[in-house]
Structure 1
Amino acid sequence: MGLAIDAACDLPQAFLQQHAIAVMPITVRVDGEVFMDDRKPAEIQRFIDRRLGSRSHSAETEPCPVEEIQKLFLEKLVLEQDCVFCLTITATRSPINEHVNRASFAILKNYRQVREQAGIPGPFMMRVVDTRNIFAGAAPAIYEAARLIAADETPAAIRERLTHIANNSYGYMLPRDLYYLRARAKKKNDRSVSLFSAMLGSALDIKPLLRCYRGETGPVGKVRGFEQGAESLFGYATQRVRAGLLVPMVCVSYGGDLAVLTHLPGYAELRAACGECGVELMEAPMSITGMVNVGEGAVTLGFAAEEHVAEF
């Protein structure tokens, strides 16, 4: 059994390599420049180094086309595995889930001939899972999928468990620049950040804490300043770690140099709590797609927990 994800799922490169996770790329075009968002560190760094700043909000993003997904599977994955779980960010925010589902029809129709020619017996299975979250919020389901595959669980048991984790995954985001976020939202016809809140936020340095849960994204709190926002978010995550998680991991992604995380208030306490509770704290660079959509320097954080009320 194997795993495939889309590039907007934020996880460390070392984890992807350890579990041989295939990445479905996203093409990003900014003012004539093209970036292949495939979670490769070199390409992410190239985007950061270009300092595109405020221009990135006008970027065009193209999720992996149906034909490319078919090619990835029929030329590679069906020859390497008997079953692949394909996890995507929430279908409410990206068409990638729809693309994978459409591609699956041709893949399941044509895999037999490909495998027979390679002398590989038996059927091939493909399961598409909507993580119902974005960026670091997609990480818990992927982490759990890797654990269950390593434990040699059955595909049916894995599918059921991943559905449960997806329904109980929480993804939080702290943006640095509300004007950028609002400009990007306007381009995508997304009214979740109004001009008024962007103006108010910049004037008073008030930042919203945004949450994605079961495919729905919206503000759950307001904080004054990015530093205080980070302290509030990491403090909340520390509480959830101590209260108990459904998957023993917290993933934090950052739209820039990961070394910045260590210096943000509250992060040392979160790291200590994870160590005490046997929870793995994963740090990942935010995808190019993520930075284009929410701006460089944003923080996202994901974990899976029983349903609860977020208090900020």
Structure 2
Amino acid sequence: MRMGLAIDASCDLSQAFLQRHNVAIMPITVKLDRETFLDDRRPEELQRFIDRRLGSRSHSAETEPCPVEEVQKLFLDKLVLDYDCVFCLTITATRSPINEHVNRASFAILKNYRQVREQAGIPGPFMMRVVDTRNVFAGTAPAIYEAARLIAADEPPAAIRERLTHIANNSYGYMLPRDLIHLRNRIKKRGDRSVSLFSAMVGTALDIKPLLRCFRGETAPVGKVRGFDHGAEMLFGYAARRVRAGLLVPLVCVSYGGDLAVLPQLPGYVELRAACEECGVELMEAPMSITGMVNVGEGAVTLGFAADEHDAEF
């Protein structure tokens, strides 16, 4: 059976991984002032956003996840011809309507695929499985990484779906913002009150950063740090300890809202890399999506891994 992968653009993975596994991308349209960016994980569009230095204003951007009609078109024009089964993974449904869009699109896709395949001379049924990763940004990477591994091993779709559900329920996504005012303005625009104006102002004045965690669709602060570098050192050190304690998927994904060359310069990153090498875990470096930078701010770090349930230790 020919099986493939599709993800929404805000899932942070390396370009090499996406190309190696021929991952289809459901784009997100980002509108800021009079400019429009198509967030589809293409390096040139990502670099255009970074070069425009829009970080101070991007909290006001409007983001439009891939509409139902475009999801249908992607599948009926290409994916139902290229594959017999596609696993479609999205960021958590609690933070984006894309999961709902894909589920709605699936009804028309499964209703109309037979005619498309018959006209192309392709026999047999087509299956589509939609998986909510229950996480955001780098936190979506473990489930997608595991999906690619299981597809390569030619595991049956039912077994893959069951395993991905387990990984999604045990994926942890951490976020360390640089600009607390940007984060506060963005979540206010989204109707979220988890960072108050007072907290943002005091935190900015004292250079106090929150460490945020997404787990099973819920995002909340799990710690506070003085200074971004100190926060990075704490986050990477924590991730190194989790690597040594054992992961459910041999992957730690780190995404950065800017030039990836900055990552090795951050305190604690060398130690995290050493822990991954010691334990046979891949350390994937991924550019943060345009959507991620709009929501968390340029220069932010997100980190994801899958592990047995545990309490945050910050």
Deviations 1:269-302 (A, max 9, x none): 0000000100000000000000001110000000
The aligned counterpart of 1:179 is: 181
Match of 2:248 among 246, 249, 252: 246
RMSD of Structure 2 on Structure 1 (CA): 0.4
What amino acid sits opposite 2:52 in the alignment?
Answer: R
Q: CA deviation at 1:53?
A: 2.1
The aligned counterpart of 2:35 is: 33
Query: In the TM superposition, what are the counterparts of 1:263-282 in structure 2 within 5 Å?
Result: 263-282=265-284
Partner-residue secondary structure (3-state), 1:54 = coil
What amino acid sits opposite 2:144 in the alignment?
Answer: I
Deviations 1:160-210 (A, max 9, x none): 000000000000000001000001111111111111110111111100000
What is the percentage of aligned positions where both structures have the same residue?
A: 86
Partner-residue secondary structure (3-state), 1:236 = helix
The aligned counterpart of 1:308 is: 310
Partner-residue secondary structure (3-state), 1:29 = strand
Contact 2:55 2:294 survives alignment (8 Å) = no
Query: In the TM superposition, what are the counterparts of 1:113-124 in structure 2 within 5 Å?
Result: 113-124=115-126
Q: CA deviation at 1:19?
A: 0.3
The aligned counterpart of 1:229 is: 231
Query: In the TM superposition, what are the counterparts of 1:1-312 in structure 2 within 5 Å?
Result: 1-312=3-314
How far apart, in 2, do the equivalents of 1:52 and 1:229 lie? 24
Deviations 1:11-46 (A, max 9, x none): 001100100100000000010100000001111000
TM-score w.r.t. the length of structure 1 is 1.00
Deviations 1:56-91 (A, max 9, x none): 111000000000000000000000000000000000
Deviations 1:76-116 (A, max 9, x none): 00000000000000000000000000000000000000000
* Higher mean displacement: 219-228 or 192-201: 192-201
How far apart, in 1, do the equivalents of 2:271 and 2:14 lie? 21
TM-score w.r.t. the length of structure 2 is 0.99
What amino acid sits opposite 2:232 in the alignment?
Answer: A
How far apart, in 2, do the equivalents of 1:301 and 1:272 lie? 16
How far apart, in 2, do the equivalents of 1:75 and 1:107 lie? 10
Q: CA deviation at 1:247?
A: 0.1
Partner-residue secondary structure (3-state), 1:157 = helix
How far apart, in 2, do the equivalents of 1:105 and 1:125 lie? 11
Contact 2:213 2:221 survives alignment (8 Å) = yes
Partner-residue secondary structure (3-state), 2:249 = coil
Partner-residue secondary structure (3-state), 2:56 = helix
Aligned residues: 312
How far apart, in 1, do the equivalents of 2:198 and 2:234 lie? 23
How far apart, in 2, do the equivalents of 1:39 and 1:230 lie? 25
The unaligned stretches of length 5 or more in structure 2 are none
